[in-house]
Structure formats: structure tokens, C-alpha cells
Structure 1
Amino acid sequence: MKVVHRLRKKEVSGSSEGFAGFLLSNKVGGFLSLGIPSRYSGFMVNIGGKQLKILDNIGVRGVPNKIINNFWNVQQEKNGITETFFVPIHTNSMVYELEGIKPIVLEFDVKEAYDNREWGREYEVSEEDKAVLVTFTKKTDQREDASNNVEEYRVYVAVRPGGNLDYKQLNNWVKKEYLFDKERNSFPFERYVYEALEINSKRIVVSVASTKEKALAESRYVLDNLEKFKKVHKRYVEADLKDFTNDKVEFAYNCSVNSLDGLIMRNKKEWGVFAGLPWFFQVWSRDEAVSLKALMIEKEFALAKDILLKQLSMIDEKGRLPNRVPNSELESADSIGWHFKRWADIIGMLYHKKLVNEYFYAEALHDIVNKLEKSLQKLESNYLKDGLIFNDSMETWMDTAHTPRKGACIEIQAMYLYMLRMLYELTRKKEYKEKEMRTLEKVRGEFWNNNWLADSAGDFTVRPNIFIAAYIYPNLLSKNEWVKCFDYALERLWLGYGGLSSIDVKDQRFCFNSTGENNKSYHNGDSWFWINNLAAIVLSRTDKTRYKDQISHILETSTREILFMGLLGHHSEISSASSLKPRGCLAQAWSSAMFIELVSELNKR
């Protein structure tokens, strides 16, 4: 399939590789994603805190042979027919347009995103206010539930054409096979969806709400103000997108900026940076903190500050941040370290630009530092043992049972060292400097064997966590020592297509191919794009000449993945070690954020 990314008067094109589709966000928890054969594709909205899938598919019948990403909307060509998709931000609506009147088929699959029950799905189709109103009711069914015929929720979908209401009700249940889910061992990969309608029109608005009045009113408002919505959204998207010398890198950078922006939810109940779409529609504190530097690079200082203040207010009695909002059973050992790092980044960048006083009063900075000091004290009280910071199983970013990493992990020690240095620089209290020097000696003694760094105390498995340690606290080793360490690690982690394995490729736990939802390979072979981009940043800072081939290869691979693979214009979570094959969540915040950082790093003057 041909792929075109078009921005202003420039474009870059190529052919898609493997699964390919698109995703447009409404910035209040919902999105439209088509093309990837997955039960998570379709039109989703967030209604009253529920993440609801509404449509499985919409469009004229046929297979697309071309996708055009215009950044603010997407066009798709099928058999000479051009479809245009648009999602107005801050609405629970989507817009579908054609150049002429054609039959448009709507396939419904209303459900909570993670709910795969088949029974108790009731649709009612009626006409009201010159629109088609689809009422969905979810009831329990004794074949799957403890009760029977008990209503769980109801949702209303208004389908409003741009002209006369000309439709027929199809009333077909169609079996769908989701090949992307099947390949990643994500059950169920078959499901019946409701082929409800065929509407003859060249434009329709689909709006969703908890009442029919709200659904009808929003669909009417969006249709009446559609050109204004388009103009505002286009201007918003194109406002701050940048230019670089390499067209593909430029487009991939701008795609990443646009993708990350689409993952920032700015409503009152659910705000912050979503970890990823289509299924990580939660705020994970680690992913969010990692992603904030990219916002600062894009001069979104106020937003980054607000998110950091939100995180600061959430520090718990043990000195940590919650792993996720909504909460999860797992805790996070490293979110707080990234939180400290991003405070240093924003203060440092604003100081360099002589803008600190525009964003912080002196009293506010004093309060922030005081809270960070208290966080560190609590961390030391709860997790410091014999001079090292310890964590429990599955508390680092490698958070699966196959990689528990219980103990004292290298990047956690680097974060502790960074916290001590940062607080010394902010307070000039000698105790922080003295602790830093003692801890540095302890960490070097436990982790450095004069060739490479241990992944955790007593475990010298080669993993890419050494690059996180170098990114956070480069003073851990000298430049020559880092070169020695990286040379050794790259021999064992480098993948031919331009990425890093998450474990030594000669380790018996190494998985050549991604095992998908059975996450055995997740941190035992799968290549993570955020880590690849971070590693390239570190290699550039260490010795850009020595590592120029690895840096350029990673940049090229990430660029290719963003532009022509997976969800086009977005950066995926992982790839198999065997070959460049985007898998996992296909629009991942920290992947895009680290790509923004990488390109910015390489384009420093």
C-alpha cells in the first residue's frame, strides 16, 4: 500500500511494510483507528470514565491501496474512491467524508475496551432529528455472567448525514478475524460485530453520549460547525512543526510531535500523558515522566510544569509515585527517579533561557525542593540497604514475571546518585555531596567489573539498562570506561536492522521472535524503540564519531518505523528481535518522546 505524509506544501512517500493503519485522537480519551486487524481498532470514546469501543469499521466496501496522513486528518483510497477521516478534538465525534454520494457501511461493536463478552449486546435503530439513532444496551447473560438480563449500561450513537437521510438497516452479525491479535497471541482474535447500517451520503458525523439528547445535539453541532473545526484543528496541528534538512527525519519528527500531542489528555478527570494507544489508555507515571523532556524541547514548559506538579502531589508515604492512574497492583521503583530528572531538566532549560522567573516564584521553587527532599528521605528509609536502593519483583520498567529483577538494579542506583547530586546543586547541603561520593564508590564496587556494568547487584546479565544509567548519571563511569562498557554490550545486544535486544542475544532466555501477549519475550529479546532512541542519545553524547554507524542506523530504523509501519505517523512500543516488525502498542508515548529527544540531540548547534 502506498503511504504519503503531507505537511504544508511538502510530502514524503513510500510503501507500507506489514500491518499498516492510522490513528486520530480526540485528546479526551477517544480515538479513531482503522487498518490494523485488531479488536482494539475502530472508533473509541471515553464516556463517564468508561473506555468504550463504538465502531469496528466505517467506510465504503473494499480494501485501501493508499493512505495519506495530513496530520490533522487522514485520507484513504479504495478502488478510486477517496475517504477522509477527521476527529474534532475535545468531542466524542468523528467525521467521515467522500467526494460524492456512496453507500457507507457502519459496523458496530459497542463494548468496554477490555470486555470481550459476546452475549447480552442489544442494538436498537431508530430515526430522530434527521439522524439515525443507535441505542446500545449491555445486559448480563447467564452464559457468561453470574446474573441474567441485568442492564449494565446504555449508550447512544447519533449518525447524522450531511444531506438527506437515506439509509437501510442491514441487521447483520458478521464474524471478524483479527490477524494482528492472532499473531501476538492475544485472545480472542475472532468476534461477531453488528453490521447495522448502510447510509447513502458523502458526509456523516458519528457522535456518542450517555443520553440521546446529548448525542443528537453534539452531532448537529459538529456538522453545523465542521469547517470551523477543521480550520482550528489544522492550524493547531501545524503551528509549531519544525524543519530539518532530511525530509524523512523531518516528517518522522513532526509525526512524533503530533503523536505525542494526541496522547496528552487535557480534560479535568483524565489528564496527563497516556502511555499509548490503542490499549494503554491510562497514565503510567514512568512513561509520563520519561516523555516530559520532549514537551520541554517543544517549548511546552507550562504543560510539563503542570504535569510535574501533579506528580509531585501524588508522592506516597514511601517516597514513590503510584505506578499508574487508575492504580495497579504493581509498584514503580523508577518513576520517582524520572520525576527528579525531569524537574532538573525543566529548571535547567528555563534557567538557560532566562525564563525561570516567568514560570516559578522563588517560594514555589523552595516548596518543590522541600518536597523532593522529603521524598528522598522516605525512599532512603524504606529502600536503602547497605548503601544501595533495593526494589521488589517487577517494579522496574522491565515489569513482567519473566524479568522480575528483584534486588538492587543498575538504573535505580543511577537515579539515586542523580537525586543526591541534584539536591546538592539545589540546596548546597554537604550531606548530599558526601552521600553521593560514598554511594558512587559503593555502586562502582558492586556493579563495575572493568568491562561492563552488572544489570543488578550480583547479576552481570547484559541488558540495555546500562544506557538508562548513563543517560541519568553519566558520572558513574569515565568516558573511556563507558566506551569499554558500550563496546562490550553492543556486541551482545545489537540487532542487524538497527536496534537493541532487551537481553544478551547469547543468553538462554533470549527470544528471537516476539511472543506477544504471552510476554516471555517482552524483556528477553524484544527491541524497545524508546530504549533504542535513548541509547543513540547516550552514544552520541559519549563519542558520536566512534558510534556514528549505530546512531545513524537507529535513527534510520526509527524513522522508517514511524513513517511506513504499524500505525502510520506513530512510534510503536516494540519490535521482534528477528526483524523490524512493529508489535505491542502501536502508538507509544515514550517511543515518540525519545525520538524527539534523539533528533533534537543530533541537531544541536
Structure 2
Amino acid sequence: MNIRNISENWHERAYEIENKTQEKIFVSSIGALSIKSKPTGQIVETYYKEHNPMPGDRQRCLVVKYALKAKNAEIIFSLGDDKQEAMQNHNFDLAREMKKKIEYYNDLVRNSVSCNDKEIEQAFKWSIINLETLLKKTPAGYGYYAGYPWFQQIWGRDSGWVIPAIVDLGEFRKAKEALATLGKHMENGRIPNFITTDSKNIDYYSVDASLLWIISLHHYISQSDDMRFLIKQRPVMEKILSTYQKRTDKHGFIISDVEYEEEKRGETWMDTLNRSSEALDIQAMWIRSLECYNEMMHCLGRDSGLEKNVQKLRKNFDRKFWSGSFYYDSVEPVRDRKTANALVPLLFDLSKRAKDVLNVIESPLFTTPWGVRTLANDETAYNPESYHKGSVWELTTLWAACAEFKYGNSNKGLEYLKMISKDLFIYGLKEMTENWSADSGKALGCSSQTWNYALFIRAIDEYMLGIDINAFRKPAIKVKPRLPLGISKIVRKKRVKNKWFKIAAFRHGGEVKTEIIDL
């Protein structure tokens, strides 16, 4: 155990231990933990341990060996600011609370998805439940923590990948509130990189959070038809775009990481690396955010005046970033570094080289039994357990799954999804891990990462089923399924404006057919 402030690593506080018959109490100067069990257990050993749960994060914890003998046991861990509060928190009916929670989660996933592949169905439903556990009300507003246990903050970048999945689930209110929380804290044309739990610290050092926010807003507006919210958020979008226009190069691409040496971190999701000046994935997000802004302005009957800019950027994208066999990760400082960021242009429909990219991603350079490496294993800097220089991320693996479905390789897409879905059942926690050792498959980082759940849902809805919803178009729902051989039928419940539909894709003879039914 380690009772500490959320932003704190090393401390030398000790614990007073009260080994009572019915409960065991551990008290430090900033908080207390009480352990109570049925049947009663005993503390058999305690000792302090120093460790580094993440590189550079030296911590000290108390290890407690607690023994009891039973076929079934109920153990309650209760926290408080002091001993009295920790003990008082035991005074609730655990069975009743668990029953209420189970009923709530069952209601949440009921009729959400049906699939002949029960592993995929269960992974989808557990993704919904995990997203719900990561939705928090903070002094800053509603938002999604990036993961447990290390990222209990609202991260703008992570939210940009997560909010579209919340929209896909028809949870418009939650998506709107998450967008509003980030939008109201925009400063100097930047959506927050992260907002701490107490909202006292808001960090803005991120280049992609603002772009993903615009893309997420577009996803929400397209399915909800919430014009009032669009009008309210328009000044936020325009401030972001005007700010970003000032940091473009002569070709119109975004320059990032210019303060890397000063900040000792990068502005992209690979923030341990210096990827300046023009990072590949950022350009894909930049182009897509401009397209989203154009479309939202058309919904308001306005001309954004950016159409020519978008066409120019699209035209120059492959010219600037294609190496002849793969995408450059960035222009400087390591131009030809091969990373999984090459998948992002495929997701945003920017690449004319999808087949070539996927051939490399599918090869042993990137793909392992556990998923897709961040960095190709023939790179000089490759390290199978390095955070951004070789470990397998479920994020990059899900990007690969989405891209495979999008470009017609549905069996490979399902193969990548299965690498993720099996993670839910490894430790019995029904969670999706942040990253893995590319050599051993050892779990690294967070035990539960929010964007994994979101991208699993999106891989099914947007990419396997090919569901495209636009409330401003007739028909509002278009479906282009790409079912792998292992999937014979899948049904999803979807929302357009305030109306719900059942969308089914199934095999009939040698064809894949679709059905859309009003509910």
C-alpha cells in the first residue's frame, strides 16, 4: 500500500499499524486504510519496499501479507483522511451495494450488442462498463480519466479518442459534457493536455488534444444534430484554428516539439520522444480537423474558406511523408524512424499507400503475439519494454485493427481485436492494459487504459460494421460492413438525434446483408 498525494512519488512517511481482531488499520500522517474481512484474517508479515512502477518514478510502499482460510471470502478495503473516517466507511452493506452496481451495469449493456462471437460481445460490453467507471465529476466538470492507476486526470488527448465512442454508444449527454469541460478550459487556443483531479493544475503542453477535440465535436454534432451546442463551441474552434495556423510551416503543416529541450517532454502522445518538427500523426489530425470544421460550418450555412487549404495539404501529404516504402515518423530529427503512427493517416482516410503500410505493420517488424509495437524492431533505438521505443500498446494494436477493417482486411482486423479481447480475461479484472513487453508479453504501465475501451467499440462500429451516421444527410445512416469469416451476425443499438435504431449485419448465403430497424 502507498497512501500518497496523486502527484507524489517518493516519500518517507511510516504507518502505524493497529492489528485488531475484527479489522486492521494502517495510519499515516495524510490518511488511513482499514481492512476488514469475513472470515477474519491475520497480518502475518509487513515490510517496506522501494520500487519504480514506471521509469523515474521511485516510490516506497508497505507490503502487507494478510492471511485467511476460506472457500469464499469478503474483504473490504476502506479509506479515509484519518482512522475514524476509514473505520466509519465500513458501515455499509457490501452485498446490497454490489447488487445495485451489478443491476446498473446490466442495464447499461442490455441490448447494446449481440454477436455470435461471444468473446467479442463480452469485450464490447466490458468496454462500456469500464468507460462508465472512468467517467468522473470533478471541480472542473465531467470528464474521463485516462486510466487506472496512474492517469487519474482528465486528459484532453485521450478524451479526443474516447468521446467519439461515447457518441457511438448514444450517450450524447456524457459526450457533450466531456466536450464542454475541455472547451471551457481552452486557453490561448489550446485544449488542456490534462486537468488534475482537484482542478488546481491544468497543463496545456499538447499539440494533438485541440485537434482531436474538434474531430470529436464533429462526431457528436453529426449524430446528435445539437446545433445550439455547435454555435456555442464555434468560438473555441476558431480560436484553436487561428492559433494553429500561426504554427504552420511554409507547406501548411503543423510544427511541434520546438520546446522539447526546455520542457523535457514532447507535445504528442509519444511525449518521451523528440519528434519535431512535423510529426506524421499530427498532420493527419490537422487535416481531419480542418475537414471537420468545414463540414460543421456547412451545417451552419457558412463557408469556412478553408477548402483549398485542405486540398493542398492532402495533395502534399504523401509527397512530404512517404519514404518509398513507409511513412516517415516526422521531418526532424529522425526522419526515417518507423513507428506505428503510420496507421493514423489510414484512419483519417488520408493515405493512398494503405496496402504498403499494412504490409509492414503486419510483418514481424511490428506485429507480435500480443499486438503492435510502437517502434519497428530493426530500429537502433528499439527496446521491447521501452514506453515509446518498442513496447506493444493496445492503442497501436487497435489502430491496426481499425485500419485492417477499413481497407478490407477484415480477418486480420479480427485477429488484432482478439489480441485485445483476450486481455480482459488474463487477470480476471476485465480490464485492458496500457502496454506490454514486445518480447515476453509482460504487462507494463496502467492496468486499465480508457482509450483502449473506446477504440474497441469504435473498431466494431465505425470500421467492422462501417456505420456512418450523419443527421444532416438522407439517409442519415449508411452501413458498409466488413465482416470477418468468424463473425456470422452482429447487431448494434444506435442513436440518431433522439431516435434509436437496431443495425444488424449478417451472412446470408455467400453475401453479407444489413438491416436497419426503428426502435
Matched, 1:321 2:182: no
Q: For 1:161 and 1:455, locate their aligned partners in 2 and report how far apart those are by CA, in whole Å.
A: 53
Q: For 1:187 and 1:433, locate their aligned partners in 2 and report how far apart those are by CA, in whole Å.
A: 46
- CA drift of 1:256 comes to 2.1
Q: For 2:318 and 2:132, locate their aligned partners in 1 and report how far apart those are by CA, in whole Å.
A: 39
Q: Which residue of structure 2 aligns with residue 332 of structure 1?
A: 206
- CA drift of 1:484 comes to 3.1
- CA drift of 1:537 comes to 0.8
- CA drift of 1:464 comes to 1.4
Q: For 1:470 and 1:397, locate their aligned partners in 2 and report how far apart those are by CA, in whole Å.
A: 18
3-state SS of paired residue (1:274): strand
3-state SS of paired residue (2:431): coil
Matched, 1:570 2:431: yes
3-state SS of paired residue (1:388): coil
Q: For 2:323 and 2:37, locate their aligned partners in 1 and report how far apart those are by CA, in whole Å.
A: 69
Q: For 2:238 and 2:4, locate their aligned partners in 1 and report how far apart those are by CA, in whole Å.
A: 45
Matched, 1:236 2:100: no
Q: Which residue of structure 2 aligns with residue 397 of structure 1?
A: 269
Which among 403, 410, 421 is matched to residue 538 of structure 1? 403
Is the Cα–Cα contact under 8 Å of residues 32 and 82 in structure 2 kept in the other structure?
yes
Give the gaps of 5 or more residues in structure 1. Answer: 1-55, 57-108, 139-152, 351-355, 515-520
Q: For 1:311 and 1:423, locate their aligned partners in 2 and report how far apart those are by CA, in whole Å.
A: 17
Q: For 2:218 and 2:229, locate their aligned partners in 1 and report how far apart those are by CA, in whole Å.
A: 15
Is the Cα–Cα contact under 8 Å of residues 110 and 136 in structure 1 kept in the other structure?
no
Q: Which residue of structure 1 aligns with residue 148 of structure 2?
A: 277
Q: Which residue of structure 2 aligns with residue 580 of structure 1?
A: 441
Q: For 2:74 and 2:369, locate their aligned partners in 1 and report how far apart those are by CA, in whole Å.
A: 43
Letter in 1 for 2:418: E
- CA drift of 1:159 comes to 5.8
Is the Cα–Cα contact under 8 Å of residues 424 and 432 in structure 1 kept in the other structure?
yes
Matched, 1:422 2:292: yes
Q: How does 1:243-254 map to 2 (within 5 A)?
A: 243-254=114-125
1:277-298: CA deviations, max 9, x gaps?
A: 1222222211122112222222
Q: Which residue of structure 1 aligns with residue 16 of structure 2?
A: 122
Matched, 1:136 2:27: yes
Give the gaps of 5 or more residues in structure 2. Answer: 261-265, 466-480, 482-504, 506-519
Q: Which residue of structure 2 aligns with residue 341 of structure 1?
A: 215
Q: How does 1:35-50 map to 2 (within 5 A)?
A: none
Q: For 2:15 and 2:399, locate their aligned partners in 1 and report how far apart those are by CA, in whole Å.
A: 45
Q: How does 1:174-573 map to 2 (within 5 A)?
A: 174-175=46-47, 191-193=61-63, 205-210=76-81, 214-220=85-91, 222-223=92-93, 226-241=94-109, 242-268=113-139, 271-317=142-188, 319-326=189-196, 327=201, 331-350=205-224, 356=225, 360=226, 362-383=227-248, 385-392=250-257, 393=260, 394-400=266-272, 403-428=273-298, 429=303, 431-449=305-323, 451-457=325-331, 459-471=335-347, 473-474=348-349, 476-478=350-352, 481-491=353-363, 493-497=365-369, 499-511=371-383, 513-514=384-385, 521-542=386-407, 544=408, 547-564=409-426, 566=427, 568-573=429-434
Letter in 2 for 1:291: V
Is the Cα–Cα contact under 8 Å of residues 464 and 501 in structure 1 kept in the other structure?
yes
Is the Cα–Cα contact under 8 Å of residues 17 and 25 in structure 2 kept in the other structure?
yes
User: Residues 349 and 450 from structure 1, CA distance in 2 versus in 1: closer, same or farther, beyond 3 angstroms?
Assistant: farther
- CA drift of 1:419 comes to 2.0
- CA drift of 1:270 comes to 7.2
Q: For 2:97 and 2:147, locate their aligned partners in 1 and report how far apart those are by CA, in whole Å.
A: 25
Question: % of aligned pairs identical?
Answer: 20
Q: For 1:191 and 1:366, locate their aligned partners in 2 and report how far apart those are by CA, in whole Å.
A: 50
Q: Which has the higher strand share?
A: 1
3-state SS of paired residue (1:243): strand
3-state SS of paired residue (1:509): coil
- CA drift of 1:505 comes to 2.1
Q: For 1:322 and 1:267, locate their aligned partners in 2 and report how far apart those are by CA, in whole Å.
A: 15
Letter in 2 for 1:442: N
3-state SS of paired residue (2:108): coil
- CA drift of 1:341 comes to 1.1
- CA drift of 1:216 comes to 4.7
Letter in 1 for 2:271: D
Q: For 1:271 and 1:214, locate their aligned partners in 2 and report how far apart those are by CA, in whole Å.
A: 26
Alignment root-mean-square deviation, CA: 3.4
Is the Cα–Cα contact under 8 Å of residues 389 and 416 in structure 1 kept in the other structure?
yes
Is the Cα–Cα contact under 8 Å of residues 18 and 25 in structure 2 kept in the other structure?
yes
1:547-598: CA deviations, max 9, x gaps?
A: 344323212211222222x563111111222243322212111122212222
1:127-165: CA deviations, max 9, x gaps?
A: 9xxx75847242xxxxxxxxxxxxxx3x355666789xx
Q: After superposing the two structures, state which structure 1 stretch, 247-256 or 302-311, moved more.
A: 247-256
Aligned residues: 444
Q: Which residue of structure 2 aligns with residue 103 of structure 1?
A: none
- CA drift of 1:124 comes to 5.2
Is the Cα–Cα contact under 8 Å of residues 330 and 336 in structure 2 kept in the other structure?
yes
- CA drift of 1:439 comes to 2.3
Is the Cα–Cα contact under 8 Å of residues 410 and 456 in structure 1 kept in the other structure?
yes
User: Residues 582 and 214 from structure 1, CA distance in 2 versus in 1: closer, same or farther, beyond 3 angstroms?
Assistant: closer
User: Residues 492 and 271 from structure 1, CA distance in 2 versus in 1: closer, same or farther, beyond 3 angstroms?
Assistant: same
Is the Cα–Cα contact under 8 Å of residues 285 and 323 in structure 1 kept in the other structure?
yes
Q: For 1:498 and 1:203, locate their aligned partners in 2 and report how far apart those are by CA, in whole Å.
A: 34
User: Residues 306 and 526 from structure 1, CA distance in 2 versus in 1: closer, same or farther, beyond 3 angstroms?
Assistant: same
User: Residues 190 and 347 from structure 1, CA distance in 2 versus in 1: closer, same or farther, beyond 3 angstroms?
Assistant: closer
Q: For 1:339 and 1:404, locate their aligned partners in 2 and report how far apart those are by CA, in whole Å.
A: 23
3-state SS of paired residue (1:275): strand
3-state SS of paired residue (1:266): strand
User: Residues 406 and 126 from structure 1, CA distance in 2 versus in 1: closer, same or farther, beyond 3 angstroms?
Assistant: same
Is the Cα–Cα contact under 8 Å of residues 211 and 285 in structure 2 kept in the other structure?
yes
Structure number with bigger Rg: 1
Is the Cα–Cα contact under 8 Å of residues 375 and 382 in structure 2 kept in the other structure?
yes
Letter in 1 for 2:134: L
Which among 584, 591, 595 is matched to residue 452 of structure 2? 591
1:235-259: CA deviations, max 9, x gaps?
A: 1111132332112222222222222
- CA drift of 1:461 comes to 2.3
Q: For 1:290 and 1:227, locate their aligned partners in 2 and report how far apart those are by CA, in whole Å.
A: 35
Q: For 1:508 and 1:593, locate their aligned partners in 2 and report how far apart those are by CA, in whole Å.
A: 33
- CA drift of 1:342 comes to 0.8
User: Residues 182 and 212 from structure 1, CA distance in 2 versus in 1: closer, same or farther, beyond 3 angstroms?
Assistant: closer
